[in-house]
Amino acid sequence: MVSDEIKMPKKRHLTIALLLYAAPIVGILGAALFMMRAFSVLSEDGGADPSDLADSIQGALYVMIPFLILGLFGFGLMLSVVLRKGQRESGFFWKVLLLSAFYCFLSFPFGLLFGGSVIAALLSKRREFFPV
């Protein structure tokens, strides 16, 4: 019973870390939607009012910035979860590995910095996730 109470905050900690670590993907998707809106405004009449175009681009930036900031917190939290002893489920390993690889390709070269460092930390601890 005591072990269940101890595991719950760790699982919540993992969930929060994964959600924060995935936040930039939501920001990038939101920015892509705003940019699609900007280009649809541009293509409607063959030309567009620069202020409408600027508003759409500004909206894309305003959507992306908070999610990138959350992602930085998620990055730090994710590294702390991976580097410390504790939660070592193989499912967690694969989720974080795939998300980090996605970052490496989605937002190259900056994603390579963040995703690559988490991948390196995961691979250095892989024996802890998959005991023999």
Cα(51)–Cα(7) distance, integer angstroms:
53
With cut-offs at 50, 70 and 90, classify the pLDDT of residue 104.
confident
Q: Kindly report the pTM of this predicted structure.
A: 0.71
Q: Which domain holds residue 49?
A: 2-129
Query: Tell me, what DSSP letter sits at residue 109?
Result: T
For 11-56, the pLDDT digits (tens) are 777 888 888 988 988 888 888 888 888 788 777 766 667 777 788 8
Cα distance between residue 109 and residue 114, in whole Å: 9
Residue range 51-101, pLDDT digits in tens: 777 888 888 888 889 998 998 898 888 888 888 877 678 888 898 899 889
- Indicate the length of the chain as a whole number: 132
**In the chain, how many domains are there?**
1
Distance from C-alpha of 39 to C-alpha of 36, rounded to nearest angstrom: 5
